[in-house]
Amino acid sequence: MRPGSVLLAAVSGLIWGVTAMVVIGVTLTLVTGEVAMPQASAAGLAGILSALGFVWRQSSDSAGGIPARGFSAIILLLVLMVASFATPFGLPLGMAPVWQGLALILFVFSVTAANAICLSDARFGPMSRYEREVIYIRIAKGIGFVVFTIIVALPFYVMVMTSLKSQQALLANPLDLSIDFSKGLYGLFRSYVELFTQFNFGRYLMVSAFVSVSTVVLTLLFSVPGAYAVSRLRFPGQALLARSVLLIYMVPAIVLVIPLYAVFSQLGLRNTLTGLLIVYPATTIPVALYMLQGYFRGLPSELEEAGLMDGLTRIGVILKITLPLSLPALASVSLYVFMIAWNEFLFAFMFLDDPDIFTLSRGVVSLNSSEVPRQHLMAGAVIATVPVLGIFLWFERFLVQGLTAGSVKG
């Protein structure tokens, strides 16, 4: 027996017991709407004992008897029930029994599995520094997975679930994020129906799509020739230009807003989509040009020279050789520019006053008032998010390439 080794198993048990209890307890609360009081200290104690039991069974020489996992699971359950006086989630067992049962099973299963994975080579005897560090890192990584998944997923979960609630339900119990089927599909998606019928969101969606797609087309029209020139043609100032493109997308939009607002107001371009379609490409062209020229440089120039030999013009070479070869890069750039234009907020907010030409971003801002209920705001957020997330998931490979290649505007 080494104190360090015992401590290691206890730490693993404590951390997993407490973490699993808090996470599962909170999830139980959000799913059922009943306020659970996760018994973290009882769970911690149960975790410690079961982890110790696991290591003891695992390292004991006797091959027979109950396997280590089963043994530690039983200890876990027993200690938890005793230490929490049979209310592991602080709720009477009769309340939401199915969910509580599920949560309990999930708790026992996840703590046992986590301990078994983390402590798979652990023993009470002496362990090398290497072995101990491996176990600590397993614990840290495990916690990392749980924490990251929760902090990333929780806001999106709340966004979707809030949009499906009614005003009264939200005020009555902000913790109840379950899906309420009792009012039928219409009751469930009421916020969405109202946004599309009364708040003109169908139109905003069309405007956003139009603006984003036009921005992509305009950006490509400008940046493809520019990128080709920078990467393939020799001219004075080429190196300087390739460098300074990067500087342009460090210019903050807020610095451009006041002069553009002043000039566009006087030219009558403010509050028009034309105005937006001038500004958006201007902010995306440098990024697109930078990404494309990097890709064009990587293409073998022999192909283009062969094309020139065979009597193609430069334009012909670009259209028939360079562009077909760089389709993946074009896809990345297009998706990336689409994302920027779709998500853009500042200029849409400053320029657009007329609800007929609101983009989605601008439309969602107009929902942020005390007169509009929260679930409408969240439904608007969902409507703005779903298309761009859908595109992201569908074309993830291209978009990830785009994000890394462009080193991205922030």
Partner 1 sequence: MQRREMWLAYLMLAPTFAIILMIVAGPLLANFWISVKPVQLADLRPPSVLVNERVRGKPAAPGDAATLEYRLRNSSQDEEIRNVVLKDEVPDGFDVSTLPDVCSLDGKALTCSIGTVEPKWRERLKLEGTVSEVFLAAHRPERQSKPVVSGDANNILTNFDFTLENFSRIFSADEFWSVLRVTFYYTIFGTGGALVLGLFAAQLLNTAFVGRGFLRGLFLFPYVSPVIAVAFTWVVLFDPFSGTVNALLTKMGVVSDPINFFGQRAIEFSVFGINMEFPLALSTVIAFEAWRYFPLSFLFILARMQSINTDMYEAAEMDGATPLQQFWYLSLPQLMGILSVLFLLRFIWTFNKFDDIFLLTGGNAGTRTLTVDVYEQGFALSNLGAGAAVAVVVFVVLVTFATLFIRFSPKEEGL
Q: Does 134 bind partner 1 (CB under 8 A)?
A: yes
Q: Any idea which residue has 């107009």 for tokens?
A: 366
Which of 152, 179, 267, 319 contacts partner 1 by CB under 8 A? 152
* Residues contacting partner 1: total by CB under 8 A: 105
Minimal distance, residue 325 CB to partner 1, in Å: 18
The pair of three-digit structure tokens given for residue 75, joined into one six-digit string? 């200890």
Minimal distance, residue 140 CB to partner 1, in Å: 9
x/- map, 229-268, partner 1, by CB under 8 A: xx--xxxx-x--x-----xx-xxxxxxxxxxxxxx-xx--
201 contact partners, CB below 8 Å, separation of at least 6: 195, 360, 363, 380, 383
Stretch that binds partner 1, among 1-9, 13-21, 74-82, 385-393 (CB under 8 A): 385-393
Q: Does 392 bind partner 1 (CB under 8 A)?
A: yes
x/- map, 273-302, partner 1, by CB under 8 A: -----xx-xxx-xx--x-------------
DSSP label of 62: -
Which of 121, 133, 180, 305 contacts partner 1 by CB under 8 A? 133
Stretch that binds partner 1, among 11-19, 41-49, 186-194, 390-398 (CB under 8 A): 390-398
C-alpha distances in Å from residue 37, one per residue of 27, 89, 107, 143, 229: 11, 5, 15, 21, 65
Q: Restricting to residues 165-194, name those near partner 1 by CB under 8 A.
A: 170-171, 173-175, 177
Element (H, E) at 30: helix 3-32
Stretch that binds partner 1, among 5-13, 54-62, 69-77, 152-160 (CB under 8 A): 152-160
Q: Restricting to residues 94-113, name those near partner 1 by CB under 8 A.
A: none
Q: Does 212 bind partner 1 (CB under 8 A)?
A: no
Cα Rg for the chain, rounded, in angstroms? 29
Q: Which amino acid is at 307?
A: G
Q: Does 338 bind partner 1 (CB under 8 A)?
A: no
Are residues 355 and 198 in contact, defined by beta-carbon separation less than 8 angstroms? Answer: no
Q: Which amino acid is at 134?
A: V
Q: Does 374 bind partner 1 (CB under 8 A)?
A: yes
Q: Which amino acid is at 281?
A: P
Q: Does 342 bind partner 1 (CB under 8 A)?
A: yes
CA angle 107, 110, 113 (to 5 degrees): 140
Q: Does 30 bind partner 1 (CB under 8 A)?
A: yes
Q: Does 393 bind partner 1 (CB under 8 A)?
A: yes
Helices (H) and strands (E) in the chain, counts: 20, 0
133 contact partners, CB below 8 Å, separation of at least 6: none
Chain centroid to Cα 352, Å, comes to 28
